[in-house]
Amino acid sequence: MSQLNNPEALFRAKSRTFSLAAKLFSQRDRAAVARLYSFCRILDDLADASVEGETVALGRVIQELDPAVPATDPVVVDFVDLAAERGLSLKAAFLLAEALYADCGTRQIENESELLNFAFGVAGTVGVLMCPVLGVNNRQAFPFALDLGIALQLTNIARDIVEDAERGRYYLPRDWVSPAVIERAIKGDATAITMVDTAVERLLNLAEEFYESAFNGLWFIEARNRRAVYLASRMYREIGQSLLRLGSNAWRMRRVLSAFEKLQVCLSALWGHRRMQVKLWAKPIPPIHSTKLAEKLEGAGVPLATF
């Protein structure tokens, strides 16, 4: 747990995309973001430590996130302190830890609803946790924060298909493409590759729906922090968009943006930020969350009313 001693160093080392954008935060907010990232990253690493995951450690985190239980794990102690300082939701943290615990071992997502429920648990919850760190306490913002977390997770799934398969985890829904087909595609079977290509395109098109909604919801964030979140989101979104541009079979190589590609995204985001500012964020009335996405999430068992 030595990562807790220097969360900003962990943030820079493990999340180059987000840590770059985080330079736009104030120093106080950047430190809080790094502490939250450290908590989430350590839990995620416990789930991914092996095929089976570190279930005992995750179980202890779940137990100690209960306000009635004194926290002794340094990871939980620091998070509880941060939650008290910035008003973070212990419920969201509990749901995150539960989702990661459930993800230990092999995994097969059956359909789109299960996919969205999974993405909510391991990433949508993080969006909710980020809101008060960024100074957002309006509950109307929470569904948009969920959308951003889900969009990022769907991109992550598209990037890590091969790595996840090595752990026996298949997040492309079975009713889109079966694990057997994914395995054949990884080995180079042309027909199987085409089937996985189609599933990846469907996945990233679904992510686009959530990105679009999330960008609307940046209205709730004050200008300085909004720039940072928008830039980070655009850079991560570009991973998925570049997979689509690269075409068939691109998902077999874990996609990482080069320094030049990041610069291109930064320049594009500057223009995009100005356009979004005029089109959406300068409006005096807050955006309304998409009924279509709300119905999808509620149908997937996502507890929108919890937040």
Q: Which residues contact 38 (CB under 8 A, 6 or more apart)?
A: 3, 4, 7, 10, 11, 78
Confidence of residue 286 (pLDDT cuts 50, 70, 90): very high
The tokens describing 177, both together, are 């493409």
pLDDT interval class at 146 (50, 70, 90)? very high
Quote the pLDDT of residue 306: 83
Q: What percent of the chain has pLDDT over 90?
A: 77
Q: Please tell me what DSSP assigns to residue 174.
A: T
Higher-confidence residue of 305 and 65: namely: 65
Cβ atoms of residues 144 and 220 within 8 Å: yes
User: HSE of 66 in the Cβ direction (CA atoms, 13 Å)?
Assistant: 8
pLDDT at 205 (0 to 100)? 98
Q: In whole angstroms, what is the distance from residue 196 CA to residue 191 CA? A: 9
Mean pLDDT along residues 63-73 = 94
pTM of the model: 0.93
- Whether 176 has a pLDDT exceeding 60, the answer reads yes
Q: Given pLDDT bands bounded at 50, 70 and 90, which one contains residue 270?
A: confident
**Mean confidence (pLDDT) of the chain:** 92
Share of the chain above pLDDT 70, in %: 93
Contact 99, 115 (CB under 8 A): no
Domains of the chain (ranges plus CATH)?
A: 1-105 (no CATH), 106-307 (1.10.600.10)
Cα(85)–Cα(217) distance, rounded to whole angstroms? 24
pLDDT of the residue at 28 = 85
How confident is the model at residue 279, as a pLDDT?
Answer: 83
The predicted model gives 283-300 an average pLDDT of 96
Whole-angstrom distance, CA of residue 256 vs CA of residue 173? 24
Task: Kindly report, residue by residue over 292-306, the tens digit of the pLDDT.
Answer: 999 999 999 999 888
Average of per-residue pLDDT across 235-250: 95
Residue 276 dihedral angles phi and psi, to the nearest 5°? -65, -35
Distance CA 232, CA 11 (A): 13
Average pLDDT over residues 215-229: 94
Average pLDDT over residues 177-204: 98
User: Is the pLDDT score of 96 beyond 90?
Assistant: yes
